[in-house]
Amino acid sequence: MASTQSGSGLLPEVEAFLAGTPLTSLVGGRDVAGSTGQTMQTLDPGSGRPIAEFHLLSADDVDRAVQAAAHAFKASGWARMAPNERGVHLHRLADAVERQKKIIGQIEALDAGKLVAHAEGEVQNFVDTLRYFTDMAQHVQRRNVLAVAGHEAWTVRHPWGPCGFIFPWNFPFLLVGWGISPALAAGNTVVVKPAEDTPLSAIYLGRLAREAGIPDGVINIVVGTGQVAGAALSGHPGIKRMSFTGSPEVGRLVGEACGRNLVPAKLELGGKGAAVVFEDVDVPQIAQKLVHAITFHCGQVCCDATRWLVHESIARQFIDECAGRMEAVKVGYQLAGGTAMGPVVNARQRERVLSYLRKGQEEGAEMVVPGGPASVPGHDGFYVKPALLSGSLDNIAARDEIFGPVAYIATFATEDEAVAMANDTEYGLANSVWTTDIGRAGRVAESMVAGNSWINAHNVFLRGVPYGGVNKSGMGGGVNSIETLFDYWRSQSVVRQL
């Protein structure tokens, strides 16, 4: 099945993994083919060709996975283990992933259309995140004594039980790390549903977890469609906490399903971030940084700055600097050297990007860099060129999340106007402000309504700094900080009358 195009140089371990198709899910420590016999193919976005086939799980299969996670929570000893004992297991898993970084990186690059160096960096990010939460769980206090007259009282934190996770296709492996690391470190068991477009790295992780000796049922990987496996997981009453990363449309469905079961849910959703650029910046340098951000992973990044709000006095120079750089971006096959921007994930996503360019133009945007389909000789994949539009922020291309390498420029005259423009969106994920005036930077950063504001940078992720969204970009606490670990413990009070 591994029908990638010749010369792509796959590692023998990757060839062997792909040859073992149809690939299976992991439930209760066992390889599981779906009970319906249905399978699906995953494509190499750079060639458009199938690379592997995998079994699709049904709602009944997902139910068995939740039961396996519940059984492991009660019976495997995982939940009651001392954090340092659990830490031995989790560090062993981190070691195994780190040892196989090149293999997982190549699988991820092939499945998601990522540049190999980026994919390997994301595997390392998984490892570092897992180690971070594993160590944190050993050092935080889980018992607090409460000073109450006439009573001895304290709170104690317990893991919840089986936790569900549903992930999108843009950062398949990295996001699994962000999601399950705090949950596992806190003593929960997990059921993970990867996106059906990019299931391979999660399937590989399941195998590594078993080899690393993680007790059966602690990590379950259920591969299936969103409508069947995703809906079954998010509506399962046996799940004690749910985490969903993806579009606001599906996030609503997951939130509704969890609400019916009174299951707390974290929703990490889309965005339409702004970069506010003041007149005192080094224009070529900032143009370079923003073009890099919008073309990174072909613009399929939830927190990207897609609305560039630029002071009117530097707008002409800024547009010229950006346009030249965008036109020079080398679009190519993701496994080939010299490629700066690979393909989008599938034909549907390419059509989505192209349709927004058409609609934006119809609504009157100036097509500064027109974008459009790109062709890469010898690789018949899903390629688009970067695009830069400008005009009114009422334009559909300035309002909707496109999820491609498309930026939209509008100008402002005053700081207040810039903040109002940045906040004129239903989303609230991440914005940035660019200026050498530190006072103004802080003011604007705090005034933009979103989960995250960055100063003189965009797409900044640091373990220890919470990352999450507000409004249409999400709810429920975010990821990557000490609060995330505490989210995976329920708090219980204990009182003794003296």
Between 246 and 386, name the residue whose CB sits nearer to ligand NAD.
Answer: 246
DSSP state of 495: E
Alpha carbon distance, N-terminus to C-terminus of the chain: 70
CB 340 within 8 A of CB 388: no
Which residues have CB under 8 Å from 407's CB, separation 6+? 290, 294, 305, 306, 307, 308, 322, 386, 387, 388, 389
Structure tokens at 366: 């100036």
Please state the closest distance from residue 354 (CB atom) to ligand NAD, in A. Answer: 16
Please state the closest distance from residue 383 (CB atom) to ligand NAD, in A. Answer: 18
CB 387 within 8 A of CB 357: yes
Verify whether residue 302 is a known catalytic residue: yes
Between 166 and 388, name the residue whose CB sits nearer to ligand NAD.
Answer: 166
Give the span between the Cα atoms of 309 and 431, in whole angstroms.
Answer: 11
CB 322 within 8 A of CB 434: no
Please state the closest distance from residue 218 (CB atom) to ligand NAD, in A. Answer: 21
Please state the closest distance from residue 227 (CB atom) to ligand NAD, in A. Answer: 5
Between 165 and 318, name the residue whose CB sits nearer to ligand NAD.
Answer: 165
Please state the closest distance from residue 257 (CB atom) to ligand NAD, in A. Answer: 7
Q: Looking at beta carbons, which residue is closest to ligand NAD?
A: 226
Q: b/e per residue, 47-57, with b = 16+ CB within 10 A?
A: bbbbbbebbbb
List residues near ligand NAD by CB under 6 A.
Answer: 166-171, 193, 195-196, 226-227, 230-231, 234, 245-247, 250, 253-254, 268-271, 302, 401, 403, 429, 469, 474
Q: Say which residue the tokens 């469609």 belong to.
A: 225
Verify whether residue 258 is a known catalytic residue: no
Q: What is the dihedral of CA 92, 97, 101, 106, to 10 degrees?
A: 160
**Which residue of the set 298, 302, 303, 322 is catalytic?**
302
CB-count burial class (<10 Å; 0-12, 13-18, 19+) for 225: middle
CB 6 within 8 A of CB 26: no
Please state the closest distance from residue 473 (CB atom) to ligand NAD, in A. Answer: 6
Between 29 and 172, name the residue whose CB sits nearer to ligand NAD.
Answer: 172
E-state strands within 371-437: 372-373, 384-385, 387-390, 406-412, 430-434
Please state the closest distance from residue 196 (CB atom) to ligand NAD, in A. Answer: 5
Nearest to 217 by CA among 113, 73, 88, 352: 73
Between 401 and 415, name the residue whose CB sits nearer to ligand NAD.
Answer: 401
Between 258 and 441, name the residue whose CB sits nearer to ligand NAD.
Answer: 258
Give the span between the Cα atoms of 176 and 193, in whole angstroms.
Answer: 9
**Which residue of the set 268, 321, 401, 415 is catalytic?**
268
Between 83 and 179, name the residue whose CB sits nearer to ligand NAD.
Answer: 179
- Which residues are tagged catalytic? 268, 302
